[in-house]
Structure 1
């Protein structure tokens, strides 16, 4: 099983962001990808650079004006900002689809949105090549490879059709899922990052050809808030094709695996022909943003059960931060997938 990664994905370098009212170090660091890339090379996974598929696959799921905005957004900000200013928004539009949560920090975000996607000099190149890595992985699967891993960084599953959110700019998993529909009529996107795939839900909510399933704690009290409730199941042609499986805070590994089994049954029932996995190692018990308790052996079991579906599969990296077991969790999951193929 090969992996796709481009070193330009390391050029987005946020230093700080605001969380719960305080400025703090940004957890979405280039070192995340370096640790996983090095693990891949040490364990015999071929790592290839993506080709340039251009902007059309990105524009297929994102508002073209939104995509174009990022090309020179940092330069425009720097030209008009004080020297030490943090490139984050300080004025915000009204709310989008979703609901105001009970949590005060979530309620503030409903009206104020978030500060987690500061622009840096290398943001455009990083997000562009992160998306290209996902597209390249999808292209390999379209052409017959059974499973390919896209080490996409920055991550993407919180990015909506026209809004950056939760460390994410371009929704790499949705871009890859749409790419798979060139060959297959029924695609599933399974999100096993600990946070709701709110951006993917936003993008896919009215699509009937892509089944979206996300495992995550209740967004009424856990980031990224707003979207990901059990009764949000899609609209129009997408009615019934979005499913949110809520985990209790602190859920054990066994509880997470039970929810995964529910998701896999839904994928089978949909008649899925190809699969995208939004892969988050922040399900780990020792992740800095931990909310549930998965361990390396649990990630290996998740990999085995997903691979046992026997579907053409693209794995797209989402969260998983600089906790002590990040590389080990990635190794456990990906090695199990490789052994199961």
Structure 2
């Protein structure tokens, strides 16, 4: 198995975000790359760089006005007198069925779901290459690899088709799934991040060709709050093609693995030709967000069970924040996956 990564992904370096109204240091920092690369190396993965496929992979799941916004908003924002160093919205619409605002301030509110996705001078380039990394891993799977790991940073699963949120700008897991759809009639996304993949759900909510399944901390009192509940099953052609498995706060290995078996049963019934694992490591018992209590050995077992799906797999990095075991948790997952898949 290979690890895909591009050095430009390090450049995005957000300074702050708001949490419960308080300004705090942003945990989605470049140092995450070093820890994750070390984990991939310890698991025996060879590192490769992605090719540049242009904006097409992102455009397959994101609106053109949103992509233009991400590419240009920082320069436009900095023209505003006394503007903040980073783009952070101060107004949000109460609906989205109106004319598109012309101002940078209005567009920031329209395209940014929260204050946890500040945009700086290097955000677009880092997010662009994060998306290329996901597309490359999916292409490698199409070319015959049983599995490939995309070290995507910044992450992506909170990004909707036209809206950033929760440290995420381009939805890497959705991009990988769409690449896989070019050859497979049905693709499944299994999200094991601490937080619900609300952007991924939103992108595919009315589609029946991509099954979305997410295990995450119960959002009733946890980010992203408004999405991720068990009652959300899809709509239109997608009704029945979305499964949320919210877990009680601080659930450990046993509860997580029991619900993972439920997820795998649903995926088996869907019979996908390929799968995307949206790999969050922030369910770890020592992660700074502290929402769940999965152990390092638990990640090994999660990797083993994910491999049991038995179809070509793109593993896309989502969350997992600075703690001493971050690299070890990635290595444990990858080693478990490789052992079970015998690759």
Normalised to the residue count of structure 2, the TM-score between the two structures is 0.92
Q: CA deviation at 1:72?
A: 1.9
Given that 1:16 and 1:26 are in contact with CA atoms closer than 8 Å, whether structure 2 keeps it comes out as yes
SS at match of 2:89: coil
Partner residue, 1:4: 4
Partner residue, 1:105: none
Normalised to the residue count of structure 1, the TM-score between the two structures is 0.93
Superimposed CA distance per residue, residues 269-291 of structure 1 (whole angstroms, 9 cap, x where no aligned partner): 11111100100000100000121
Mind listing any 5+ residue stretches in structure 1 that lack a counterpart?
98-108
Q: For residues 248 and 338 of structure 2, what CA distance do their matches in structure 1 show?
A: 30
Superimposed CA distance per residue, residues 70-107 of structure 1 (whole angstroms, 9 cap, x where no aligned partner): 1121111122242754420112112579xxxxxxxxxx
1:181 and 2:150 matched = no
SS at match of 2:282: helix
Partner residue, 1:305: 305
Please list, as runs of the form range in 1=range in 2, the aligned pairs for 1:141-220 lying within 5 A after superposition: 141-220=141-220
Aligned residue pairs, count: 328
Please list, as runs of the form range in 1=range in 2, the aligned pairs for 1:26-45 lying within 5 A after superposition: 26-45=26-45
Q: CA deviation at 1:42?
A: 4.5
Superimposed CA distance per residue, residues 266-312 of structure 1 (whole angstroms, 9 cap, x where no aligned partner): 11011111100100000100000121111110000000011122110
Q: For residues 213 and 34 of structure 1, what CA distance do their matches in structure 2 show?
A: 29
Q: For residues 294 and 81 of structure 2, what CA distance do their matches in structure 1 show?
A: 43
Q: For residues 199 and 83 of structure 2, what CA distance do their matches in structure 1 show?
A: 32
Q: For residues 246 and 96 of structure 2, what CA distance do their matches in structure 1 show?
A: 22
Given that 1:253 and 1:292 are in contact with CA atoms closer than 8 Å, whether structure 2 keeps it comes out as no
Q: Please provide the CA RMSD for this pair.
A: 1.6
Q: CA deviation at 1:241?
A: 0.1
Partner residue, 2:270: 270
Q: For residues 113 and 182 of structure 2, what CA distance do their matches in structure 1 show?
A: 34
Q: For residues 325 and 132 of structure 2, what CA distance do their matches in structure 1 show?
A: 27
Q: For residues 320 and 95 of structure 1, what CA distance do their matches in structure 2 show?
A: 32
1:140 and 2:144 matched = no
